Amino acid sequence: MYRKQSEKIKEWINGSDKALLVTGARQIGKTWLIRDEIEKSEYTKFEINFIDQPDMIKHLNVQMSAEEFLVKLKMIMPEECRPHKTIVFFDEIQKCPEIVTKIKFLVDEGSFKYVMSGSLLGIELKGIASAPVGYLSVLRMFPMDFEEFLIANSISQTTLDMLKEKYEILQPVDEFIHEKLLSLFFVYLIVGGMPDAVKKYINTKDIREVDKVQRDITTLYKADFTQYEEADKKLKLISIYDIVPAELNKQNKKFVFTMLDKELKFDRYENSFLWLKDAGVVLPVYNTDAPLTPLLASKSSNVFRLFSNDIGLLTSAYPLETKIELINKNGEVNNGAHFENAVAQQLTANGFEPYFCKKKNIGELDFVIEMGGKVVPIGVKSGKNYKTHKSLDNFIGIPDYYIEKAYVFSIGNVEQIGKIIYLPIYMSYLLKEKTLENAMIVDVDIRGL
C-alpha cells in the first residue's frame, strides 16, 4: 500500500549521509515501509530485529566502545554485505537503545548506511545520555490518512488531482462524486489507518474482520501499558486510554480527571498522559487562551482534549450500533467525536500543532492552527446545520484577533462565504502549510566591517 513517507525514505537512501530514525506507534507500518524501500534500492539489507533476535541485545548492547561495536557488527554480517553497498536496519531499537549513542561514530566511519525503527521510542530514548545531533534524521510516521486510504481503495489519480484542484480554486465537487467520497470517508471512520486493518477491509469488505484486527492492536498496546505500569506503580495508562471514547462523546470534550479518581489531581496523572503522548497512541490537543500568534505562548498545559492516534481504533471501542450508524451516514446521530478525531489526526500528520480555544462569553473553537504565519480557526460539524457556528462567528468578529480566514469541515460541499471556507470533511488531508519552492538566499553585505 502506498505511504507518503516512502518518498522521504527514498530520499534518505539516495542522498543522505546521516543515519535515519523512523518512529511512531505500534502497527503503523514502519518496518514494512523501510524493508520495501531498501529492497527497491540498489543496496543490500542487513536487518537485526531485537525482539525476534533477543540474543543480539547481549551481543551488541554490552558496554563497549563504538569501534568494538563495529567489529562485532561486521562479525555477524554475511559476505554479501559489502561496505558502501549495505544498509544496516536495526528494528525494535527500543530494546537496544544504547545503539543510538554510537551512531555518530558509525556515520563518521562510513562503511554502511544505518536506519533504525521502533515503537515507544519517545519513552525509551529519554534515557539516552548523548543524542547524535547532526548525525541522525528523525522521521515520524502516523497511521494512513484518508488520501492513503483512497489510494489503497484504488481511487484514481485523476480523482485525486480533481480534488486538489477543487480545494485550491474553492469550487464544489460534482455532487455524485461528493456523495461517493463521503460514503468512503464514513467507512474510513470505522476502518481507520492501521495498515493491517485497511488491508483486511480491502480483502474482505467485512467490518467484523476489521474489528478483530483493531482489537488485536489494542491488545498489543495494553500489553505495553501493563509492562510499564508494573515498573512504575504511579502510571495509570490503561485507565486513561480506556476512557478516551467516553470523554470525546461528552458535550464538554475537555478531559476531566474525576473520571479516573475523584481524589486525585492532574499532577498525579501528568506522567501518564505524557507517556501515552510520547508513545504515540494518543494526541493531546491543548487549550490556548487566545487565537493569537504564537499559540504556544498562551498554551494551558493542564487543559486539553485527548484524541486517539487512529480513528479506527477509537471507533472499535464503541458499540456495534455506532458502526452501523456510520455506514448508513445517519445524520440524526452525533458523529462529532469521530469527525473531530479524524481532523485532529490529520492536522497532526500534516505537521500542524493543533490547539482549541475556549473563552467565556465568546465561545469555543474546535481547533486553532498557525498557517502561513496567521492564526486559522477550524470548525468541525458532523450534522446538516454546518453553517450555524455562533462561536466561530464571535471570534472572527473580534478585530484584535486579526482572523483573516477560517475553515469548516462538514458533510457539505466546497463553498466560501465571507471569511469562512466550507470544505467536505474528506478534504481535510489537503490542508497543509505551503512549502517554499524557491531558495531563500540572504546575502548580507559585510564589506567594511
In the predicted structure, residue 354 carries a pLDDT above the cut 80: yes
User: Could you tell me if 219 and 80 lie in one domain?
Assistant: no
DSSP state of 280: T
Give the pLDDT band (50/70/90) at residue 62.
low
User: Could you tell me if 130 and 275 lie in one domain?
Assistant: no
DSSP for 363-403, please give it.
Answer: EEEEEEEEETTEEEEEEE--SS-TT--HHHHHHHT-GGG--
User: Could you tell me if 157 and 263 lie in one domain?
Assistant: yes
pLDDT value at residue 258: 47
Give the pLDDT band (50/70/90) at residue 120.
confident
Q: What percent of the chain has pLDDT over 70?
A: 92
In the predicted structure, residue 262 carries a pLDDT above the cut 90: no
User: Could you tell me if 205 and 305 lie in one domain?
Assistant: yes
pLDDT value at residue 169: 97
pLDDT value at residue 134: 83
Q: Mean pLDDT score of the chain, rounded to an integer?
A: 90
User: Could you tell me if 273 and 331 lie in one domain?
Assistant: yes
User: Containing domain of residue 406, as a range?
Assistant: 146-430
Q: Which of 163-172, 267-276, 377-386 has the highest mean pLDDT?
A: 163-172
In the numeric block, the cell 504556544 is attached to 296
Q: Which residues of 181-205 are buried (b: 16+ CB within 10 A; e: fewer)?
A: bbebbbbbbbbbbbbbbbbbbeeee
pLDDT value at residue 89: 97
Give the pLDDT band (50/70/90) at residue 123.
confident
pLDDT value at residue 255: 61
| Torsion, Cα of 57, 62, 68, 74 (10° steps) | -10
pTM: 0.91
pLDDT value at residue 183: 94
The CATH number of the domain holding residue 39 is 3.40.50.300
Question: In which region does residue 377 sit, left (phi positive, over 0), alpha (psi from -120 to 50) or beta (all else)?
Answer: beta
Q: What is the CA radius of gyration of the chain?
A: 24
Q: Which of 124-133, 255-264, 276-285, 323-332 has the highest mean pLDDT?
A: 276-285
More confident residue, 414 or 252: 414
In the predicted structure, residue 131 carries a pLDDT above the cut 70: no
Cell of 205: 469488505
In the predicted structure, residue 132 carries a pLDDT above the cut 80: no
pLDDT value at residue 190: 96
User: Could you tell me if 108 and 177 lie in one domain?
Assistant: no
In the predicted structure, residue 210 carries a pLDDT above the cut 60: yes
More confident residue, 16 or 59: 16
Q: Which of 125, 140, 155 is the last residue of a domain?
A: 140
pLDDT value at residue 331: 55
User: Could you tell me if 253 and 126 lie in one domain?
Assistant: no
